[in-house]
Structure 1
Amino acid sequence: MTARLPRERRHTLFFLQEVRSFAPVFLDTEVDMTQVLAHRTRARAAGRRYSPVSYVVLCAGQILAKHPDANAAVQGRLRPKVAHYPFAHGKVTLDKQQGGHRVVLATIVRDVQERDLEEVQRHLDRFRTGDPDRMPEFAAIRRLHARPWPLALAAFRRAARALPVRPALTGTYAVTSLGHRDVDGFHSVGGTTVTLGVGRITDRPVVRDGEVTVAPVMRLSLAFDHRVIDGAEAADVLTEVKSALEGYR
């Protein structure tokens, strides 16, 4: 039995076609989340709730603002051009229902380098609980779904390939998480030079001061576009994000 692909999945197919030109390389590490969980506990006692993703979005935005070569985008094959952005816009993927279908949508947290954790969480909460069939921020996606396939694909390509406006569509870096399920780690290409993949937080053995103990550990992956940066730069970014999370106060 066959059926037409739901219109609500069009943007995902268009996106996957565009990222075929990427040259992804994957890194991963483990992050001791003891300090983050301690901060979450203190915040909860004060009536505030922060998700692990919000910490990653915030720390990554602050780090990437210091790495302009990684906070960039490339376009073109014969004469490729690179755009460096003076801001860090974080794209966060969301598991949503649209038109009765389960789809992946995304929201862009703008200027993360200037925000605090409360602002990041407030933004994500609004999009996690909002209805994409009604929210004005998803009006462009709804229009894309309503257009005939060739026109919709052409419109998506124009937007995705325009370096000055691309951050409004994909951000300058991406964060995607499956840590709410029993997923330790995964790698994803988010349409940006750097994409961070967030796994679950679970107790694992770690060594501290020469002794084995148990700590809450999160696996964090980083996919980078080798056309834009090399492994050493990507390793610096991942290491600095790890350090920022482990030293969070």
Structure 2
Amino acid sequence: MATEITVPVLGESVTEGSIGEWLKQPGDAVAVDEPICSLETDKVAVDVPSPVAGILSEHRAAEGDTVEVGAVIAVIEEGASAGTPAPAAKADPAPATSAPADTGAAQTLSPAVRRAVLEHGVDPSTIKGTGKDGRLTKEDVIAAAKAKGDPAPAPSPAASSAPAESSSPVTGRREERVKMTRMRQTIAKRLKGAQEEAALLTTFNDVDMSAVIEARTKYKDMFAKKHDIRLGFMGFFAKAACLALKDVPSVNAYIEGDEIVYHDYVDISVAVSAPNGLVVPVIRDCQDKGFARIEKDIADFGKRAKDGTLTMADMTGGTFTISNGGVFGSLMSTPIINPPQSAVLGLHRIEDRPVAINGEVVIRPMMYIALSYDHRLIDGREAVTALKIIKEAIEDPTRMLIDL
């Protein structure tokens, strides 16, 4: 009996998505609840599980196609177990490349991973995947290539096919066109929309991180032992932001039509890197949470962003955003707000710099911080005040304990 697989409900107000990757090919055996493909929406990538066991007989959509909720995307012939081998006639032909002859692995590799395997000449069956359900990622392949001493991708087929007697140098120049993912298209639209609609302005300050570094060094072992989580810097900035947003409520508000919506809570969106781009899951009621709970939430978001298991609910809402470009080495930036929010705090790398204190030049671990804000709602005085409160709280963490 044939069972049609349809696009599931993807979340409130989400009516369509794109086929990101087919995890099962026609002829493959499928178990109950086994993912057959991933769908990319405006915010997250979700797996589509099979409701039955059997053999995947056909795809009704190709990778990259836009599909609406309820649309049929595949057909499964029921009756075969997950261990039943796929019929030989339906199996995909082995690619005519130099990739290792492990067809089971080849069928489950994404296009990006397959390209990396071919370029670096590694055997995918020997690499442990860190993606969801143990799937290989492009980063896994690159790491494996570096581990075996492969500093650069293998020459492209076009370059290696050049005649040996040719005197002209082979540059290996090439171009590749890749369709933007739905998530990347949405990121582009939202950021451009924020620039066009909001009156964006950024104010800067610098922070002496000595006190936070000292506190972290002193308590990190006890903290990890008690709470089973690493004490990071983000928890300090999240709590400092809560103090600032309480004293300057417009920074925690947003414009809706001709009204200003204020919030008596702080839901902080934390910018996290995911395979398909930047996502911003939300730490809810941050004003009521302690350092341990905040750090656990952030760690959980980071792991699930890498695994591709963040949900629409994780990304919904948010009244303020913190983006940490310092983890990538950024010294200074002007972050763009995350609509409909009105402000975003940008963190950057910590570096030793000479500063004047009490008439003497000393070396201190300093960080530039930036607050980008919508000038339609937030005055310059309010933005500068909010950033100054954050600076003072980080330089004297006791303020966070006594709500000062």
TM-score range (shorter-chain normalised) is 0.7 to 0.9
Q: For 1:219, what is the secondary structure of its paired residue? A: strand
Matched, 1:200 2:349: yes
1:150-175 deviation per Cα after TM superposition (whole angstroms, max 9, x unaligned): xxxxxxxxxxxxxxxxxx73511111
AA partner of residue 29 (structure 1) = N
TM-score (norm: length of structure 1): 0.80
In the alignment, what sits opposite 2:392?
243
Aligned equivalents of 1:94 and 1:39: distance in 2? 25
| 8 Å contact kept, 2:249–2:263 | yes
CA deviations 1:58-87 (Å, max 9, x no partner) are: 2102220222222110033xxx21101111
Q: Would you say the 8 A contact 2:210–2:365 is kept in 1? A: yes
Alpha carbons of structure 1 residues 131 and 89: separation in structure 2 relative to 1, 3 Å: closer
2:237 corresponds in structure 1 to 56
- Whether the 8 Å CA contact 2:243–2:389 is kept in 1: the answer is no
**Counterpart amino acid of residue 35 in structure 1:** A
Match of 2:159 in 1: none
Paired amino acid for 1:6: T
In the alignment, is the contact (CA less than 8 A) between 1:65 and 1:113 conserved in 2?
Answer: no
Partner residue, 2:262: 84
Cα pair distance change 1:232/1:108, threshold 3 Å:
same
1:51–1:11 CA distance, 2 compared to 1 (3 A): farther
Q: 1:35 aligns with which of 211, 216, 220?
A: 211
Between the two proteins, the alignment pairs up a number of residues equal to 215
Structure 2 residue aligned with 1:75:
256
Shift of 1:108: 0.6
Q: Residue in 1 aligned with 2:188?
A: 13
Question: Max radius of gyration: which structure?
Answer: 2
- Give me the whole-angstrom Cα distance separating, in 2, the residues matched to 1:7 and 1:71: 29
Deviates more, 1:62-71 or 1:212-221: 62-71
Partner of residue 211 from structure 1, selected from 349, 360, 363: 360
How far is the alpha carbon of 1:30 from its aligned partner?
A: 0.5
Q: Is the 8 A contact 2:245 2:252 kept in 1?
A: yes
How far the C-alpha of 1:91 sits from its partner, in A, is 0.8
State the secondary structure of the residue aligned to 1:118.
helix
Looking at secondary structure, tell me which structure has more helix per residue.
1
Distance 1:140 1:110 in 2: 11
| Match of residue 160 from structure 1 | none
Residue equivalent to 1:138: 311
Tell me: higher relative CO, structure 1 or 2? Use CA pairs within 8 A at least 6 residues apart. Answer: 1
Deviation at 1:235, TM superposition (A): 0.7
The CA distance in 1 between the partners of 2:197 and 2:305, in whole Å, is 32
2:199 alignment counterpart: 23
Unpaired segments of 5 or more residues in structure 2? 1-175, 225-229, 399-404
Q: Superposed, which structure 2 residues align to 1:170-189 within 5 Å?
A: 170-189=317-336
Contact 1:92 1:107 in 2 (8 A): yes
Q: CA deviation at 1:96?
A: 1.2
RMSD: 2.0
Alignment gaps of 5+ in structure 1: 142-167
Q: Give the structure 2 partner of residue 124 of structure 1.
A: 298
